[in-house]
Amino acid sequence: MKHFREIVEKHFKLDIGRRTRNHDYVFARACYFKLCREIGGYGYARIGKTLSINHATVMHGLKKALPAILMHDNFKKREHDRLLNKFEHYNKIK
């Protein structure tokens, strides 16, 4: 999971562990949650523990925040897709 975090932070140029509700941070954290959950197969509690947050926050980020952001913000959608493409390329090499 450390690898996922490093790539997300480098991609968005943010510290996703920072305690803020700023839209950019919320989005970057939600992308991190998605990578950990879908590619890494980690549980909500384990993902949350890496950022010192509750499992319910991880669930909310994945089920509500991320879909809403992707539906309404085309720029964020493109950033999200670019980030996922990095991992698809990584998985093909593995």
User: For 12-40, what is each residue's pLDDT tens digit?
Assistant: 999 999 999 999 999 999 999 999 999 99
Beta strands in 1-94 (DSSP E): none
Is pLDDT at 92 greater than 80 in this prediction?
no
Task: Decide if 45 contacts 59 (C-beta within 8 A).
Answer: no
Share above pLDDT 70 across residues of the chain, in percent, rounded to a whole number = 94
The candidate with the shortest Cα–Cα distance to 8, out of 27, 19, 22, 23, is 27
- Tell me the average pLDDT across 43-69: 96
